[in-house]
Structure 1
Amino acid sequence: MNGWLVGGIAGAAAVGVLLPLQALINARLAQETTGALFASFISFGVGTLMLALALLVTRTPLPDLRTLSAQPAWVWTGGLIGALYVLCATLLVPRLGAAGLVCLVVAGQMIGSLLFDHFGVLGDVRPVDAWRVLGAVLVAVGVVLVLRPVQAPA
């Protein structure tokens, strides 16, 4: 396995560890301030400032206005989806717990990914087969096990 792939896998796992922490931090900010919408706004604001700083530090060239205006309208929905995720996570993590939230998000990602792959949404067609369905079913079983009501000790 090459170094870039190993690094990418480690980076993805590290980000995965941080996502529930982000939801917990945002939920705490929501509790201590005026709610989930404000906390989500702050989260996106801080993230936007950090990305702007990264663009400056790396001297990444910015596209011109013509290039940006030539893009189809749907390319702007990525930020909308991200904001919706952050807001939902901020609202739900106090009720579901970090593990419950992540399990439901992963289950939704699995279902969406299988459908998007199968129909070639924005990429190559990758048909759903029995192994992929089995994997999704196992994820669903995991969600049920994580979300099951906690039993009080006898």
Structure 2
Amino acid sequence: MNPLVLLSILAALISGMCVALQAPTNATLARAAGSPINAALISFAVGTLALLAAALVLGVRPNGAGLRGLPFYAWTGGLYGAFFVAAAVFAAPRIGLAFYIALLIGGQLATALLLDHFGALGLERQPVSLTRVLGVFVILGGVLLIRR
């Protein structure tokens, strides 16, 4: 197997583990900090410091000219992340971590199908197929089973 593909699979698996850890960790932070918004703010501050340290160690710097030419949507990723962290802190303790993550994955896959189909946000176009839609419905069925 191509080493970059293997590294990508490992990174995806570990990032999934991080998603599962993030909600309960930040819920603990929210209880101490007084709100999901405070927890998200602290979480992003810690993440920003970690990324700054990584950038310094790796010697990477933003390309100012490249940043100026970006479409507006390229600047919205932080907003999605902020909503994700605050929503996870709020929802996971109330509906359970497994159900929250099942809903999260269902939402991710449904949105991914649409983005792929239209080639939106710079993605290569991958038309929706019956098998892909059925796969999402199987996962959404799993969401219902987890909830029961």
Aligned partner of 1:71: which letter? L
Shift of the alpha carbon at 1:20? 1.5
Which stretch shifts more, 69-78 or 17-26? 69-78
1:26 aligned to 2:37?
Answer: no
C-alpha distance in structure 2 between counterparts of 1:130 and 1:30, whole Å: 42
The 1-side partners of 2:96 and 2:57 are apart by 37
Partner amino acid, structure 1, of 2:117: H
User: Which residues in structure 2 correspond to 1:1-154 (within 5 Å)?
Assistant: 1-64=1-64, 66-121=65-120, 122-148=122-148
1:10 is displaced (CA, Å) by: 1.6
Q: Shift of the alpha carbon at 1:25?
A: 0.6
Gaps of 5+ in 1: 149-154
How many aligned positions are there?
147
Q: CA RMSD in A?
A: 1.2
Deviation string, structure 1 residues 58-111 (Cα, Å, up to 9, x no partner): 0013212x4323322221101111111111011111011111111001000111
Rounded to whole Å, the distance in 1 between the matches of 2:142 and 2:126 is 24
Normalised by the size of structure 1, how large is the TM-score?
Answer: 0.90
Cα distance in 2 for partners of 1:133, 1:107 equals: 11
Classify the secondary structure of the residue corresponding to 1:146. helix
Higher helix share: 2
TM-score (norm 2): 0.93
Partners of 2:18 and 2:81 lie apart in 1 by 15
Amino acid in structure 2 at the alignment position of 1:135: G
How far the C-alpha of 1:144 sits from its partner, in A, is: 0.4
Using the TM superposition, give the Cα deviation of residue 143 of structure 1 relative to its aligned residue in structure 2, in angstroms: 0.5
**C-alpha separation between the residues in 1 aligned to 2:20 and 2:95?**
11
Distance 1:94 1:27 in 2: 7
- Alignment partners' CA distance in 2, 1:37 and 1:49: 18
Largest Rg, 1 or 2: 1
